[in-house]
Homo-oligomer: A and B are copies of this chain.
Amino acid sequence: MTSREAARATLENLYRIFTVPEAPESTLGAIDQAISADVAGFLQNHIVAIERSIEDIEADFSTSTIPEEPTFVSDYTEFVKENLVAHSVHTAAPGFIGHMTSALPYFMLPLSRIMTALNQNLVKVETSKAFTPLERQVLAMLHRLVYREDDAFYDQWIHDSGNALGAFCSGGTIANVTALWVARNRLLAPTGSFRGVAHEGLARALQHLDCDGLAVLGSRRGHYSLGKAIDLLGLGRDNLVLVDTDADNRVDMAELRSECRRLQNENIRPLALVGIAGTTETGNVDPLEEMADLAAELDCHFHVDAAWGGPTLFSEHYRHLLAGIERADSVTIDAHKQLYVPMGAGIVVFKDPTALSAIEHHANYILRHGSKDLGSHTLEGSRPGKALLVHAGLSIIGRKGYELLIDMGIEKAKSFAEMIRQHPDFELTSTPELNILTYRYCPEPVQKALRKANVEQSSRINLLLDQVNQLLQKDQREAGKTFVSRTRLRATGYREQVTVLRVVLANPLSDDAILESVLKEQCTIVLQQDIQELLQQVEALCADIGTPPTSACA
């Protein structure tokens, strides 16, 4: 082939990929149909359960050079099937209860395809048209879920071009950042000759406010995105003050008050209190009413991170757990968590419908004053039409459907906690309030010994148990049948942080039989030699204390 012929062939090939759809009988077409027909079956058939090491997988993704020549779609698809899909994580599996993932409602897949095919850009009406009112409606619906304002309020604000009731984000982190950005810019708003922090910067703004810093306060269970936010905003991680929690993993209000006083004495002003509605690690809810009182007293912003627990508001039975959330200035809710939308959708709503004007911006070619462009009130610029999927969930599942999902999750967590309490080999390390709990492998006799142990003995035993639980979690993940995650926290009754197993029960398909099988598998894993050796050391330490343990598993 001459080079001119080659060029023409490339050009034809190029037009083809833009104009000719994959044939149904092609490799990619067949996968596409298989997913349409039965996504659960597809995932089950194609994801290899047994773990390959990450280093091994990396070998398939080690070339840093972009291929010179085009590849046939079918060849590429084979590669994806064998090397990517096969070694992905089956996040939708009912036994995958370690992270905040779930099976998705089936309609999310074809609706996602509509979204992708339309490829709207929500930054401006000119590239999204009806998607802009749709997104505004979704923001209003979630605003109403939290704040319960009346019809007149929403009639006034829902489509108001100068304002937005909230911001649609790629996730909870951007939502939390947006909330604290708004809080900072509102506290340091223009007044008199001071033109505001947005224009003059933080150093001058602090001079203007005559204080040495701004602090954000919450509990140690706060999400790590708060650390990113306070760094990004220039406030400094030193001023992210995370106080201890009580036995129920809720912020210790006395300590919170005392830290506020300390800061004020140091001439550091509390910018915001952050309450958590569903901590990532234990699923607990801070005392939001009391926090709202304190925020009012301090005249500071009150943000609630309800990324996980927000949808609890759907439930007539459990929404009381979040009482006080309606007093928050801003609330984060992740749609890709308990709204069952695919990855990449977070939302922040603001009590005051004009709050987002603190970060408003414009440009000559879009986001013009008076336009309805949503991009003038978001941190992100170009954004996809993910709001469709939230709208679909709210419409198709409905308030009552979500209520049922929430209720089921919370009740399942209660019954799993009971299963753990009854089991002679496990120790519940946090009582579930919503649908998240933690526990660890720690046979009853060891629990008894620990209650009698002195500080040094207890710390030596816990160190060994940490290793046991770490190995247990790793081996279970690698076996690929079921999955729990792990974290470290100060469990009820212990002075030091211990390694615990973490379970999130949001997948409606994770039933009691699955939960039983998780524990049963763990009992089998601990029989492995490396873990048994550690347990023998635990046994010896317990014998010193005077309570020789015997494992019911073994």
Contact = CB atoms under 8 A, between A and B. Distances in A.
A446 to B, nearest CB: 23
B101 A109 contact: no
A546 interface: no
Given A76-B395, A343-B120, A359 B231 contact: yes
Nearest to A94: B18
A181 interface: yes
Contact of A224 (B54, B137, B363): B363
Instruction: With a 10 A CB-CB cut-off, give which of A11, A119, A177, A202 has the most chain B CB atoms.
Output: A119
Centre residue among A21, A89, A234, A367 by max chain B CB count within 10 A: A234
B40 A36 contact: no
9 contacts: A32-B110, A57-B130, A61-B133, A64-B144, A64-B158, A88-B118, A170-B380, A199-B237, A343-B385
A63 B137 contact: yes
Interface in A212-262: 212-213, 223-225, 227-228, 231-239
A130 B365 contact: no
Interface in A356-381: 359, 361-367, 372, 379-381
A131 interface: yes
Given A112-B112, A201-B235, A232-B233, 6 more contacts: A61-B136, A88-B129, A173-B382, A201-B234, A224-B361, A344-B383
Contacts of A485: 126, 365-366
A486 to B, nearest CB: 7
Q: How many copies does the complex hold?
A: 2
Interface in A480-530: 483, 485-489, 502, 508-509
B380 A342 contact: no
A22 B106 contact: yes
Interface in A314-335: 314, 334
Contacts of A502: 365
A151 B105 CA distance: 44
Contact of A32 (B14, B61, B113, B397): B113
B107 A171 contact: no
Interface stretch (A398-406, A422-430, A449-457): A398-406
A108 interface: yes
Nearest to A385: B343
A38 B57 contact: no
A163 B206 CA distance: 34
Closest 10 CB pairs of A and B: A234-B234, A201-B236, A202-B234, A365-B487, A64-B154, A170-B170, A87-B130, A173-B381, A343-B384, A32-B110
